[in-house]
Amino acid sequence: MSTTDIGPKGSATKAGGAVVGHVDHRTGATTGIGWFLKRNIPGETSWFQTLGFAAMAVFGLQAVTGIVLAMYYKPDPTTAYGSIRHITNDVTWGWLVRGMHKWGASAMIIVVFLHMARVFIFGSYKYPRELTWVTGALLLIMVMFMGLTGYLLVWDQKAYWATVVAMNITASAPIIGPYIADILRGGTTFNSDTLSRFYAIHMLVIPGGIATFIGLHLFLVSKLGISEPPWSKRSTRARRAEEAAARAAARQRGPRGRHEVTVDPEPQTLTAEAGQ
């Protein structure tokens, strides 16, 4: 930390600096965070490129509201329904926290879906970001499973039967279907352990998976850099310049000349546009 070099340092500032320096010396934390924050990204990024961060923020919100709900929720067939009522009707702000968790789940699906749509439209899944896409797609599937497992926890008529039917559908899949359904239900049918099993999956297993994959996803995003919108002014300018150079080279070497251009990124586009 060199920001306090100007002027006399207070002892508190010095002590703080020493602690930060100590930690950084051993972990590289400030250096790493500094690199992360100050690294360059392309100059023209679109507002649509904020959706991944929004998805992450909503995941954080779900984690916080979920923890608060877990403080009052009782994952047992005889008490679950009552505890949800209690949260909704009695606990101070309980209705709000539950409402935020419920609406947050829908928002998460929408935001993740829009994020995926933007990645698709921008062609951002192409080289070198293929694996970023794969980790993202796995995240989408896990987010859907959060919805499936969370729905049952309310233990009301609608959620219960919807989940019974969903398990039913799972079990009807060939070969491994019955096994997966048995694992999810904790038995060959819906039983009194199914609820606590769904609870464990909903609040421990999948969130762990999502957190891990968000980590991988972000590692890839920051390592590879966020993509530039394909229609950015800079890339259009670069493409024009390259095309002009290619045309000039083509003129120089004549129609039957030797092919001397070493880099020819988009041959089809070039011929198409050269003919215009």
Whole-angstrom Cα distance, residue 167 to residue 191? 12
**Among all residues, whose Cβ is closest to ligand HEC?**
189
Q: Is 64 in the site for another protein (CB under 8 A)?
A: no
Q: What would the two tokens of residue 183 be?
A: 């694992």
- Per partner kind, with CB cut-offs from 5 to 8 A, the member of ligand HEM, another protein, ligand HEC, none near residue 214 is ligand HEM
* Smallest separation (angstroms) from another protein to the CB of 6: 22
- Per partner kind, with CB cut-offs from 5 to 8 A, the member of another protein, ligand HEC, ligand HEM, none near residue 66 is none
Q: Is 271 in the site for ligand HEC (CB under 6 A)?
A: no
Cβ contacts of 79 within 8 Å, gap of 6 or more: none
For residue 35, the Cα-to-chain-centroid distance in whole angstroms is 21
Distances (CA, A) of 117 to 49, 111, 169, 240: 11, 10, 28, 28
Q: What would the two tokens of residue 52 be?
A: 């991944």
Whole-angstrom Cα distance, residue 180 to residue 40? 45
Q: Which of residues 136-165 bind another protein (CB under 8 A)?
A: 137-138, 140-141, 144, 147-148, 151, 154-165
Burial call 152-167: b when 16+ CB within 10 Å, e when fewer = bbbbeeebbeebeeeb
Instruction: Answer whether 251's CB lies under 8 Å from 162's CB.
Output: no
> Measured from the CB atom, is 187 or 209 closer to ligand HEC?
187
DSSP 85-141: HHHHHTSTTHHHHHHHHHHHHHHHHHHHHHHHHHHHHTTTTSTT-HHHHHHHHHHHH
Out of 43, 254, 255, 275, the only residue in the binding site for another protein (CB under 8 A) is 43
Q: Which of residues 177-206 bind ligand HEC (CB under 6 A)?
A: 189-190
> Measured from the CB atom, is 68 or 214 closer to ligand HEM?
214
Q: How many residues bind ligand HEC (CB under 6 A)?
A: 3
Q: Is 105 in the site for ligand HEM (CB under 6 A)?
A: no
> Measured from the CB atom, is 164 or 180 closer to ligand HEC?
164
Instruction: Answer whether 255's CB lies under 8 Å from 274's CB.
Output: no
Which among 145, 125, 128 is positioned nearest to 136, based on CA atoms? 125
Out of 152, 153, 184, 214, the only residue in the binding site for ligand HEM (CB under 6 A) is 214
Which span sits near ligand HEM by CB under 6 A: 35-43, 116-124, 149-157, 259-267?
116-124
Residues that bind ligand HEC (CB under 6 A): 164, 189-190
Residues that bind ligand HEM (CB under 6 A): 49-53, 55-56, 59, 112, 115-116, 119, 124-125, 129, 132-133, 136-137, 139-140, 143, 214, 217, 221, 226-227
